Amino acid sequence: MSLRTWRQLGWIAVVGLVLLAGGCGGKPHQNELVIGEYGSLTGGDADFGQSTKKGVELAMDDLAASSQGKIGGLTVRTVVEDDQGKPEEAATAVQKMINQDRVIAVIGEVASGRSMFGGPVCQQAGVPMISPSSTNPKVTQIGDFIFRMCFIDPFQGTVMAKFTADNLKLKKVAILTDLKNEYSVGLTQFFKEAFTQRGGQIVAEQSYSSGDQDFRAQLTALKAKNPEAIYLPGYYTEAGLIARQARELGIKAPILGGDGWESDQLIGIGGDALEGCYYSNHFAVDNPDPRLQAFLKKHQAKYGQDPNAITGLAFDAANVLFQSLNKLYEQDPATFAGLGSAKAGTDLRKTAERKLRDIIATTTNFPGVTGNITLDENRNATKPAVVIEIKGGKKVYTTTINP
C-alpha cells in the first residue's frame, strides 16, 4: 500500500481508538441503588418522555428532602435513556441499562408499542419494570416482572363509549385510528365493542399513521357520513392537527379521545379547534384532592407549569418503587443488600430482584397523586378514569367514571 493509504488508514485508526477510549469511560464504583428510566426524550412524541423524566425527578427531589436521597442506607441514582420514539431502540436502551448500568428496576415506557419491546428484556433479565401509562393489555401479559400504574384500554375504551352514549347521548360515531400505534388500535377495538353494545353505531372508520401531516382526505371521507362525533384515540400531536383540519373542512362534530391526548402541547397545537372536545385521562388538574394539589405546587415551583397525567403517573411509579424498596429493607435487610450496585451479577441480586418484584405486586391502596393505586393479579392498577373537556382553551374536569 502506498504511504498515502497508510496515512489515511492511520488517521481512521486513531479516530477509532479515541472514540473507543471515550466510550469506555470509567464509572464510579460506590455501592448505590441504580434505577433506570427509558422514554422518548426526542422524536415525534417527545413530550411523553420529557414528562416521565419530570415525574421521576420530582420523586427524587422528595427522596432527597426526606432521606438525603437514600433508601436502606444506599444512595439512589437514576439513569435516563432516550429511545427516540423507536421500538427497537427501546429494547437496546433497556438492555444497556440492565447490563451496563446494572439497574435494579426500570420505569417506562409511556407508549405501549415501546413497552412491548422493552418489557421482554426486563422479563428475561428478571428486573421489575413499571410502566407509568402504557394502557394496552398486552404489556403486562409479557410476564410477572411487568407492572403498570394505570388502567388498561378495555376499561378506557368503555369509559369513552359510556360517556358518549350516556352523557353526550350521541348514537352515530366515526372513528379515526392511528394504525402505527398499538395503543390506538387497541383502544379503537375496545371503544367499538363497548359503544355498539350500548346501541351506538359506528358510521365510518378511517385511519392514519402517526407522523402524517395531512388528514384532509380521511376527514373528507368521514364528513360524508355525517357523524355526530369522531373518536380519535391517537397521540396529542396528531389530535391537535386533525382537529384543526376538521374544522377547516367544516366538520362541527365534537372530537373524542383517550389519554394519548394528555400533553402540555395539546391545546397549543389544536387551538380553538379543540373547543368542546373531550378525552379520557388519569387525573384532572382541577381536582381539589390535597395530594394532587400539593404535587401541582411542587411541579409549578420547579418547572413553572402545571403537570400532565404522564408526569403524575411517573411520579407515582417512582414512589411505588421507593416504597417497595423501603419495605424490602425493613422486612429483609440481608436480601435488600443484594440490590446494591456492588452486588450486581450475583445470585443474591437475583433473589433480591425477585423479592422486590413480589413486594411491588402487593401494592395496595398506595396514595398516589393520580389516585389510589392497587395492583390486581395481572399487575394492572384498577383506577377510575376522568373525562376532560376543553373549554375556553383550558382542560376542564367533566366527570369521573369508575370501573
Partner 1 sequence: MRQLIWLAGSIAALAAIGVALPRAVNPYVLQVIIMCGINVILAVSLNLINGFTGQFSIGHAGFMAVGAYASTVFTLQIGVKWVAALEALGAPGWLAQGAALLMALLVGGGLAAVAGYLVGLPSLRLRGDYLAIVTLGFGEIIRVMILNIDAIGGARGIAGIPVWTNVFWVGAGVLAVVLVSHHLAHSTHGRALFAIRDDEVAAEALGVDTTRYKVMAFVIGAFFAGVAGGLFSHYLTAVNPNSFTFLKSIEVVAMVVLGGMGSISGSVMAAILLTLAPEVLRPVKDYRMVFYSIMLIVLMITRPQGLMGSRELSLPAFLRRRRSATGPA
Partner 2 sequence: MTEFLQQMVNGITWGSVYALIALGYTMVYGILRLINFAHGDVYMLGAFFAYYVARFTNAASSPNPFKAVMVLLSSMAGCGIVGFLIERFAYKPVRKSSRLAALITAIGVSLLLENGGLLLFGADPKFFPQIIPARNISLGAGVTISNQQLIVILVSLLLMYLLRVIVMHTRTGKAMRAVSYSHTAASLMGISVDRIITFTFVLGSMLAAAAGVLVALQNPKIEPYMGIMPGLKAFVAAVLGGIGDIPGAVLGGLVMGIAEVLVVGYVSPTWRDAIAFILLIVILLVRPSGILGKHSAEKV
Which residues are at the interface with partner 1 (CB under 8 A)? 1-3, 8-9, 12, 16, 19-20, 22-23, 25, 82, 86-88, 91-92, 95-96, 98-100, 113, 116-117, 120-121, 124-125, 138, 142, 178-182, 185, 209, 345
Alpha-carbon gap, residue 237 to 243, rounded angstroms: 10
| CA nearest neighbour of 241 among 220, 264, 268, 260 | 268
Minimum gap (Å) between residue 194 Cβ and partner 2: 25
- Under the binding rule (CB under 8 A), the answer on residue 47 touching partner 2 is yes
- Under the binding rule (CB under 8 A), the answer on residue 249 touching partner 2 is yes
Q: Closer to partner 2 at the Cβ: 13 or 224?
A: 224
Quote the cell numbers at residue 334.
Answer: 440481608
Alpha-carbon gap, residue 302 to 253, rounded angstroms: 38
Q: Closer to partner 1 at the Cβ: 96 or 171?
A: 96
Q: Closer to partner 2 at the Cβ: 85 or 254?
A: 85
Q: Closer to partner 1 at the Cβ: 23 or 250?
A: 23
Burial of 5 (0-12, 13-18, 19+ CB in 10 A): exposed
Q: Which of residues 259-288 bind partner 2 (CB under 8 A)?
A: 265, 268-269
The rounded Cα 376 to chain-centroid distance in angstroms is: 19
- Under the binding rule (CB under 8 A), the answer on residue 12 touching partner 2 is no
Minimum gap (Å) between residue 182 Cβ and partner 2: 15
Burial of 342 (0-12, 13-18, 19+ CB in 10 A): middle
Alpha-carbon gap, residue 259 to 130, rounded angstroms: 18
* Partner from partner 2, partner 1, none contacting 25, C-beta within 5 to 8 A by type: partner 1
From the list 204, 241, 274, 310, which residue makes contact with partner 2 (rule: CB under 8 A)?
241
Task: Tell me the C-alpha to C-alpha distance, in Å, between residue 91 and each of 1, 5, 39, 235.
Answer: 42, 39, 11, 22
Q: Closer to partner 1 at the Cβ: 103 or 313?
A: 103
Alpha-carbon gap, residue 333 to 331, rounded angstroms: 6
Type of residue found at 270: G
- Under the binding rule (CB under 8 A), the answer on residue 189 touching partner 2 is no
Q: Which residues bind partner 2 (CB under 8 A)?
A: 41-44, 46-47, 50, 84, 179, 206-209, 212-214, 216-218, 220-221, 223-224, 237, 241, 244, 248-250, 265, 268-269
